[in-house]
Amino acid sequence: MDNYRHYLQHNISDNLVLFIKPSKVFLYAVTITWLFTHYNKAYGEEYFNINALETHSGFPEDIDLSIFTQDDQQLPGRYWVDIYLNREKTDTGNIDFIIVNHRLSPKIKLQRLKKMGVNIDSFPSLRDLPQETEIADLGQHIPSASSFFDFNKQRLDINIPQAALNSQARDYVSSHLWEQGLTSLLVNYNYSGSTNWLNNQSGSTNNNFLNLRTGANWGAWRLRNYSTYSSQNHKWQSLNTYLQRDIHALKSQLVFGDSYTPSAIFDGFQFRGMQLASDDNMLPDSLKGFAPTIRGIAQSNAQVTIKQNGYIIYETYVSAGPFVISDLYPTTSSGNLEIIIKEADGREHRSVQPFSAVPIMLRENSLRHSLTLGKYQSFTHRGKQPYFMQGTVIYGISNRVTVYGGTTLSKDYQSAAFGTGYSFSDWGSLSFDVTHAKSDLAENFSDSGQSYRFQYAKDLSQTGTNLTLAGYRYSTHRFYDFKDANEIDITNNKDNRSNTNKRSKLQLHVNQSLGNLGSIYLSAFQQNYWYQKGYERNISAGYNTSYHSINYNLNYTYSEFPGSKHNDQILSFSVQIPLDRWLKNSWVSYNLTSSKNRDTSHQISLNGTALEDNNLIYSIQQNYTHHDKDIGGNISAEYKGAYGQINAGYNYDKQSKQLNYGLNGGIVAHPYGVTLSQSLGDTLALVRAHGAKGVKVQNHTGISTDWNGYAIVPYVSSYRKNRIALDTYSMGNNVDIDINTQTIIPTQGSLALANFQTRIGYRVLIMLSHKGKEIPFGATATLEKQHDIDDTNSTIVSNDGQAYLSGVPKAGRLWVKWGYKDIKECHVNYQLPDEIPTSGLYMVNAACE
């Protein structure tokens, strides 16, 4: 009867007149108001005279309302409540309440108190009790502890002295609440393809690319594989396979297989072996992953391919103009990405985008560590693959000083690094380190040298400026990092890069907010090599602003490579104008692109979203190029549904035509069956609302439950509280649910269960009678489920013996209890008519036996 206990709350008169004939409503309201403001003093307490009620049953003594005659009194039982600890919300769930000292008092399990952070071991009366023990009066065990239940708000406040709690940071989530999730099999697929026709040639060419991420979860263990297939070389490539689990006590991740070394001290590289490393995600936000954002400019409808260490990690199709890619899978916190833009006419633009984290600074007494043992994984057929060991440690001595160091050891390579980071408060933070390395590149050929590195970062909050300057200078020509030492081929004189090591490297990133005038950004990278002339440079800059909801963007890119006399420069300007006044969720864009090595082009496009959840994305474009008077166009659409995403597009110019298409999504096998999904992230949630078909999940575009009531939420935060909510307006008439929200706290890579208790059946208003008389007001009616009482589907009988229930099967049995301490009871065997009422509500007369 959990869902209907509040039926009698606040004002009992509302319940008494609910089903009373209209002619008597006013009389009952006045009578009840008078009765509740007067009491019989002979009893020494408030007393409600039941005989004052006019009842059709003729047995007013059967009505027991004594519990409501006392202030703040409600029925004992189980309630779904918000739980607050010292005024901060910590949980939501079912709590059993009993009456203690004439008030509702919660029965809280010892296990729940421990998860809330109560130091159970410091209280002798609690220390040796079983975890399932329920505590009804906190003050008897914990001095000054108390609880208060606000029935109107369904809020339970628990007050416990700070001295009785474990020391916790803000946003702290106890590891006892972390969920390892369900045993499951995972498949994440991303297919993209194209068919191309050249106007001066017969026939067509096809390109297909499949990105496949598979995995399995069992307990705390996560098995993952990442493979790709490309039709260009007709070859499957398994990029990495690993087995991983978290170690809660160490706040670390343990990995066996293919992974990357940490890159805070040494440059990261891929290995196969074992690694134990700290995981900052296991820390609360108040004590605290990286993938870079790729920006570029396409001069036509182009294919963009991103490589790391020679492997394709991302491939997509973009329209002419500036583009941004921000959904790369995390790999490592520093390194180089090769970006290849293949234009519609076959030309290619290549650039290198390095990325790195900000300087190393930790809080006082904080420690980060890593230990890696394994075999180096070369990305060329010439590279060596030695066994190695690497260890790193970072420690925060104080709020201003952090020290760090590490070593990398193998048969032919040894290096050691030491550095320190220092906070200059308003002047930013700076780190400096030195690495000494000895490399045996070949037999009787050995080199040793030093590398000096500094990093600087500063946020100017007054001016809205974010500055990150990371400079690396290799002061001696005989220094090699571990990756270069294993990839160099001293026998190949034609490979310039393999015969030269880095001399200096400089990175600069600046973001400047201009308030209402917009913002500007500058990103610059420069690197040169020993024994090689020239520089490798990449510069990108831009200005963004908006005026009256119209967006303006100005972007510039510059790139050059060592040994080349040419450079490439591209300037673009774009404007976006919303059309919501005429066409909902749509906008028109204009883009102008001018290249040093090519002509100027113009593009105008109409873009927007459609359907109820905006899960259909469309675009229509027209292009024009000055030099060759080339006119081209493009039309594309993408649909985002509960079971995945599908996209298609067609573009043309005077030289060629192209049809591109794609399909991506996920497949999850779990203990309850198999569920199709949108593209899967790293950590997932399984919505289980058994039997509730087509129910939408709030705040997730296109996601709804399948035919059996299951859905996958593809992106949730690990080690954080995630709220999963169902849209009750999308439920069918035969579906009822008590609580439409659940909170999950998944571990990394897990499939956490968000279980919703549903009732599938009909809505029924039953007029109950017993021995020819109506069942008295205040009686409880409970549905029998599989020969057991279903406490989750219960209601209170109103005046005229009426009981409302939802989730009722076509036929069944109802148990009814009333009187003082429910001493009277009977049951009803009912059968609903075959014809469903237009209103969806059955009205049935039933005799209770």
Q: How far apart, in whole angstroms, are the C-alpha atoms of residue 558 and residue 536?
A: 11
Q: What is the CATH number of the domain that holds 248?
A: 2.40.160
Q: What is the pLDDT of residue 408?
A: 97
Which pLDDT score is estimated for 22? 36
Number of domains in the chain: 3
Question: Which secondary structure element, helix H or strand E, spans residue 337, and what is its range?
Answer: strand 335-342
Determine the Cα–Cα distance for residues 67 and 654; give it in Å rounded to an integer.
85
Tokens at 211, concatenated: 């990105």
Which of the residues in the chain have pLDDT under 50?
Answer: 1-48, 52, 289-290, 330, 332-334, 356-357, 494-498
Indicate if 294 and 160 belong to the same structural domain. Answer: no
Is position 177 within any domain? Answer: no
The secondary structure element, H or E, covering residue 644 is strand 644-652
Do 306 and 415 have their domain in common? yes
The domain boundary residue, chosen from 545, 580, 597: 597
Which of these three, 168, 201, 232, is where a domain ends?
168
Q: Would 721 be classed as within a structural domain?
A: no
- pLDDT for residue 176: 81
Assigned domain for 802 exists:
yes
Residue 465, strand partner residues: 460, 512
Q: How far apart are CA 24 and CA 22, in angstroms?
A: 5
Beta strands in 443-566 (DSSP E): 445-460, 465-473, 502-513, 519-529, 536-547, 550-560
Residue 85 forms part of a structural domain: yes
Q: How far apart are CA 519 and CA 498, in angstroms?
A: 41
In a domain? residue 134: yes
Residue 638 corresponds to which amino acid? E
Shared domain for 321 and 415, answered yes or no, is yes
Does 156 share its domain with 277?
Answer: no
- Residue 110: which H helix or E strand, with range? helix 110-115
Last residue of a domain, one of 544, 568, 597: 597
Q: What's the DSSP call for residue 485?
A: H
CA torsion sign for 194, 199, 204, 205 is negative
Q: Has residue 195 been placed in a domain?
A: no
**Cα–Cα distance list, 605 to 324, 577, 589, 623 (Å):** 17, 11, 5, 9
DSSP for 662-731, please give it: EEEEEEEEETTEEEEESS--SSEEEEE-TT-TTPBBTTSTT-B--TTSEEEE----TTS-EEEEB-GGGS
Largest CA distance in the chain: 111
Q: For residues 479 and 362, what is the distance between their CA atoms, to the nearest angstrom?
A: 29
Q: Are residues 391 and 323 in the same domain?
A: yes
* Tally of CB atoms within 10 A around 674: 12
- 395 within domain boundaries: yes
Instruction: Say which DSSP state 627 is in.
Output: T
Assess whether 569 and 444 both reside in one domain.
yes
pTM for the model stands at 0.74
CATH number at residue 114: 3.10.20.410
We report the CATH number of the domain holding residue 795 as 2.60.40.2070
Alpha carbon distance 307, 662 (integer Å) = 20
Q: What is the mean pLDDT of the chain?
A: 82
- Residue 37 neighbours by CB under 8 Å, 6+ apart: none
How far apart are the C-alpha atoms of 782 and 803, rounded to whole Å?
10
d(CA 184, CA 222): 10
One domain, residues 158 and 231: no
Side-chain half-sphere exposure of 143, counting CA atoms within 13 A: 4
Q: Are residues 159 and 224 in the same domain?
A: no
Q: Are residues 373 and 250 in the same domain?
A: yes
Q: Indicate if 135 and 245 belong to the same structural domain.
A: no
- Do 145 and 228 fall within a single domain? no
For 34, which DSSP code?
A: H
Is 704 among the domain residues? no
Give, for 32, the enclosing helix (H) or strand (E).
helix 25-36
Instruction: Say what the pLDDT of residue 64 is.
Output: 54
**Is the C-alpha dihedral spanning 285, 288, 289, 292 positive or negative?**
positive
Q: What is the pLDDT of residue 355?
A: 58
Range of the domain at 157: 77-168
Distance between CA atoms of 418 and 410, rounded to whole angstroms? 19
| Encoded tokens for 666 | 């996920």
Q: Which of 40, 312, 60, 296 is nearest to 190 (CA)?
A: 312
365 and 503 inside one domain? yes
Query: Tokens 């790369």 appear where?
Result: 328
Separation CA 66–CA 73 (nearest Å): 10
